[in-house]
Structure 1
Amino acid sequence: MSSISQLNARSRQIFRHIVDTYVETGEPVGSRTLSRKLAQHLSPATIRNVMADLEDAGLLFSPHTSAGRLPTEAGLRLFVDGLLEVGRLSDDERASIDAQCVSSGRSLPQVLEEASSTLAGLSRSAGLVMAPTSDGGLKHIEFVQLAPGRALVVLVTEDGLVENRIIEVPLGLPTSTLTTAANYLNAHLAGRTLTETRQFIVQEAADQRAALDEITSRVVEQGLAVWAEAAGSSREGYLIVRGQHNLLEDVSALEDLERIRGLFQALEARDGMLKLLDATQTADGVQIYIGAENPLFAQAGCSVVLAPYRNSREQIVGAIGIIGPTRLNYARIVPMVDYTAQVIGRMLG
């Protein structure tokens, strides 16, 4: 079954009721229950025939514990693509998201953590944010003397990311040398990307040695090296997940618990999560991955609703969304995730 248009009106009505009930309760639905709910009077026998046809089409299945039916992952996909009526956020939900996504002096990672927590709370699922390390410009660099032979390098990028690294410096190095090195870097490198910085190191090495004394030049080079290391070590990005405990609320059997454990392991699979982020690079709007559609969560039986967010240059720089059971309330979750991504994008602008 590739299109909802292949279902007649009766099949569509019955199918919708089964999915709606599954989303609401997680329980299978029987023909007698449906015959009482449907506006159009149909006998239980007629409904059973329709349900059997839907099962043959791969849209429903009958769990071994009940004679009722549940939607398959293929059925949920057909429902999402053809029957889902996306709702609207309430004023309170919008206000909550707005409040958490306003920077008010916080760094970008802090804002993203709050956004992830807010989505987790509103959806009663796990909120996630994926963001690649920015190759954006350097806003500020500072050297702080820690102890003889050691200094702290503080690196701040234009999009709010802060990196701290400890470097070794010559014993007895005066504080004024650290200040000179920082001033030199801030004057010459502010706004450059990592790629541009590497080019600068090569092209301006001779001039740098001429402009600075040997010890200051060494501190400058170490500062540049630690910046490259900081960007390179997290270049694949970082992942923020909040609200994992929400996924345990509906666990009623050992089998479910094992699936959730599998999900937690999947969340720790950094490479897989970043592949999911890569999938949003060519996406337009909210993406929904149901169960096995996303290999990362296939064994956990979970769905992911994900939306990319963009910077001021309309480049996709990350994604935000939620992870939950396949019986997510997609009609409510989709606009929630979409709006949060838009708010973060406006903040980055």
Structure 2
Amino acid sequence: MTDRDHGAEEAAARALADGKLILLPTETVYGLGADASNAKAVAAIFEAKGRPRFNPLISHVADAAGAERIALFDDHARKLAEAFWPGPLTLVAPVRDRQAVCDLARAGLDSVAVRVPGHARAREVLDLFGGAVVAPSANRSGRPSPTTFQDAMDETGFAAAEGVDGGPCAVGVESTVVSVLGGKVSLLRPGSVTREELEAVVGPLDAGGEGHRSPGRLTLHYAPDAPVRINVTSLHKGELLLGFGPGVGDARWSLSPTGDLREAAANLFRRLREADREKPAGIAVSPIPKAGLGEAINDRLSRAAGHIG
């Protein structure tokens, strides 16, 4: 498998064209990628991950023009794309081209989830390939998402013909998912593009939304093997604490010793994985503010603990 050599992007693009899977770096997490139009290749992703087939996949494209070839954008969608692409924002819009993103990739829906990733090496692969690439997180279903190439290899590298090592993921949590359907804008999954940033572009978000159109909404998701407790102020015997803020727990395990939410997001899945390797009785996480990026961090932690439903 190619990783750091000069031809990694070309090799990955060829593998996609041949109907094979790849490991794709993005700024959010590493993805297990396939040609979105190839139902057989897409099915191989679901098999490798053990992912439920009712869970739609995000299609990654090289630029906004590529996004509009597969999705129908309204004014809201174009404003959001202009403001946040390339970057960690996924738009769920009516599907334009059902062949470019196969039915299995869309979970049979009349909508498609699409984004232009902020990682330059990912966009190079996409540009070389020339089509949409579905790339859900490269972990086995329900596990913490991989934010390093090695973690992606450990999880689903067995299924990938090629991979691009893009270094540690800068964002560390999956993209914000926003529905732009029926003239309304709804937040389906929080991410590093925050609710406040979205509203600064399109105004107040609609309180509705159809969560089944977004990935990452299962009640138990992103979970390590050890049980997770959140908003913890005192430990149970044998637990390992992931602290947040000055003086909270061992700095080695802190999500952010300074209380920086972006640092906490970038560290979140890596710390969960590292803690899990210690085989603790449980993983405890100290309270994290819920505003701004904290909404996404708390969403992932709540799902890791199985607290949403």
Which interval holds the TM-score relative to the shorter structure?
under 0.3
Normalised TM-score (structure 2): 0.19
Which protein has the larger Cα radius of gyration, Structure 1 or Structure 2? 1
In the superposition, the TM-score normalised over structure 1's length comes to 0.18
